[in-house]
Amino acid sequence: MIEVSQLTRRFDDTLAVDGIDMSVAPGEIVGLVGVNGAGKTTFLRMLAGILPPSSGRIEIDGLPLVGDAVEARARLAFVPDTPSLFDTLTVLEHMVFVAELYRVPDPGPRTDALLEQFELEAKRHAPAGSLSRGMRQKLAICCAFLHEPPALLLDEPLTGLDPPGRRRMNDAIVARAQAGSAVIVSSHQLEFVERLSTRFVIVHQGQVRLAGTLEQIRAGADDQSLEDVFLAATGAGDP
């Protein structure tokens, strides 16, 4: 569903992403973790078609992102850590816009279900500019989920959410994977990533340091948490 081969991105003299390979199958949730500046957001922005890669190949649902960008991007959704919304459009107008953009047939029932799921029903006629940070995040997720994308990319999806909102987000991501989407989640909240993900990719200085299930990356220490493995792999916990 998501296939990445030798993906690189250079900014002048800085190699932000250095030869990453990754494959995410339908139904998988891959947790992408790393310290600040490790290349996670740059990597996700390339997968979303926002940044062109310096080299390498990306396929979304069998379609090359470079060369067939419109069709490939129609099969994915990307929620950045700071959602870009139209402040003057209402919550409902955002959903209508996304439905038209992705040609979602009969979007009304699904729109209603998503707004109820993420507690935005009472805000359906409120402009996005009046929403709190957490509500804006919920609206971005509703828009991303509306067309039921085969590939879902989430960068810090819990930002601004209260504990009930985090639980709903967790459940919604799991349900989306169970419906067949390939999901990549990047977050500094490692307990959330550990609980949610089926596999993990730890990146450091633009490269993959470890990849696999938690059992595979623990290196024989069965009691290690994802945080323990992460700190050891990146040296982030060293004095």
pLDDT tens digit string along 51-82?
999 999 999 999 999 877 889 999 999 999 88
Distance CA 169, CA 159 (A): 11
Quick check: is 35 in a domain? Answer: no
Quick check: is 191 in a domain? Answer: no
Quick check: is 50 in a domain? Answer: no
- pTM for the predicted model, two decimal places: 0.93
Quick check: is 105 in a domain? Answer: yes
Distance CA 152, CA 155 (A): 10
pLDDT tens digit string along 136-156?
999 999 999 999 999 999 999
Quick check: is 107 in a domain? Answer: yes
Quick check: is 115 in a domain? Answer: yes
The residue range of the domain holding 93 is: 81-148
CB 191 within 8 A of CB 163: no
In degrees to the nearest 10, what's the CA dihedral of 15, 19, 25, 31? Answer: -40
Quick check: is 42 in a domain? Answer: no
Distance CA 74, CA 91 (A): 21
Q: Are strands 29-33 and 199-204 parallel, antiparallel or unpaired?
A: parallel
The total domain count for the chain is 1
In degrees to the nearest 10, what's the CA dihedral of 131, 40, 184, 187? Answer: -50
